[in-house]
Amino acid sequence: MKTRIKELRLEKRMTQQALAKQMGINQASLSKIERGASLPDVLLLQDLSRFFHVTIDYLLLSSEQRLTADSLLADNLCNLKKYQHLINIYQKMTLKQQTDLYNFLCSMFDSHI
């Protein structure tokens, strides 16, 4: 089964390694999926559709429509609720906890904002 994963990955100028890391899979698995030698599981399809902001049908070549307005709105509302929850938690932290969290997150990405 062919998919549009490689096409979408290249649109974002991502390597297989970068996308595989983002999706929590190894590069060899992603390579097999992109070549059509392996099928992505349902959870990976969901993650990919959210990441690329396309429908699963679009990923699987079942549709030419990338995303419906309803699904984009639903995805944005879901993310907004997550962000609001994280902000509420952060605001309840002490200044030291906020600083420690900031440093921890920066260390995960090897950068400081």
Show me where the domains of the chain are located.
5-59, 69-109
3-state secondary structure 20-71: HHHHCCCHHHHHHHHHCCCCCCHHHHHHHHHHHCCCHHHHCCCCCCCCCHHH
Q: pLDDT tier at 64 (50, 70, 90 boundaries)?
A: confident
CATH domain 5-59 topology = 434 Repressor (Amino-terminal Domain) (1.10.260)
Residue type, 6: K
CB 6 within 8 A of CB 40: no
Q: What is the pLDDT of residues 26-54, one digit of tens each?
A: 999 999 999 989 989 999 999 999 899 88
Distance of CA 19 to the CA centre of its chain: 9
Decide: pTM greater than 0.75.
no
